[in-house]
Amino acid sequence: MSPVFDPFGYTPTELAIIGLILLVSGVVGSILVGIFVDRTAWYKRTMLSLGTMVLITSLLVLLGLQFFSQNKGLMIGCFALLGLFAIGYVPLSFSYGAEMTFPLQPALVNGTLTLLGSFTAFLLSLLASFIIKEGEDDD
**Per-residue pLDDT in tens (0 to 9) along the chain, 139 residues:** 667 777 778 888 888 888 899 999 999 999 999 899 989 989 889 999 999 999 999 999 889 888 887 888 888 899 999 999 998 888 888 888 888 888 888 888 888 888 998 999 999 999 988 888 776 666 5
Q: Give the domain range for residue 74.
A: 2-99
Q: What is the pTM of this model?
A: 0.71
Q: Which residues contact 33 (CB under 8 A, 6 or more apart)?
A: 46, 50, 88, 89, 91, 92
Is there a single domain that holds both residue 37 and residue 71? yes
| Structural domain total, the chain | 2
**First and final CA of the chain: distance in angstroms?**
28
Q: How many residues are listed for the chain in this entry?
A: 139
Is there a single domain that holds both residue 92 and residue 126? no
The number of beta carbons lying within 10 Å of the beta carbon of residue 51 is 14
Is there a single domain that holds both residue 83 and residue 131? no
